[in-house]
Amino acid sequence: MSDRVKDALSWLKGILESEGIDYQIVGGLAAIIHGGSREVADIDLYIRNSDANKLLTRVSSYLSKPLMRYAEYGWDLEYFQLIYHSQKIEIGLSQETRIQSVVDGSWHRLEIDFSKSMPLCYQGIEVPVIPKDELIRYKRLLNREVDITDIQELTLNSAL
């Protein structure tokens, strides 16, 4: 468990909630919250496209990658990146996000349903998290080494 992640998550949660911005934690942090054990590299989350400018106004001094469409590492999405006290935070826009399957190269739309978020805790901080089955589904498409590790741990924890 990382104090750097905890501090950045607490800071960001305060801003998001003060602005009334719905968000959903995904990626490695979501895997940890659901019972995984690997170290968190970055904080990944989604917000609605319509909330991007409102959030950017509040966090612009921490911006390390501008808001734009990126197609990289099996992803095709709009996002921006922040660095808060050396913690990387990637904030994706929920509409028009696609993931590429490593099996056949096909693209799949990632649907972020904020109403299905699960209120779970990371080091005492309650945040809305992607449901475990949806997390596993998209990690199976990407199938990177970190995804395989997360899937193994999350499915093992489900079987216990």
Total Cβ atoms within 10 A of residue 61: 7
Nearest Cα neighbor of 134 from 88, 99, 107 is 99
Domains in the chain (CATH in brackets) are 3-150 (3.30.460.40)
Specify the range with the lowest mean pLDDT, choosing from 42-46, 120-124, 152-156: 152-156
Distances, alpha carbon 102 to alpha carbons 44, 74, 98, 108, in Å: 21, 8, 13, 11
Q: Cα(25)–Cα(129) distance, rounded to whole angstroms?
A: 5
pLDDT reading at 133 higher than 80:
yes
Considering the entire predicted model, what is its pTM? 0.94
Q: Cα(109)–Cα(36) distance, rounded to whole angstroms?
A: 25
pLDDT reading at 1 higher than 70:
no
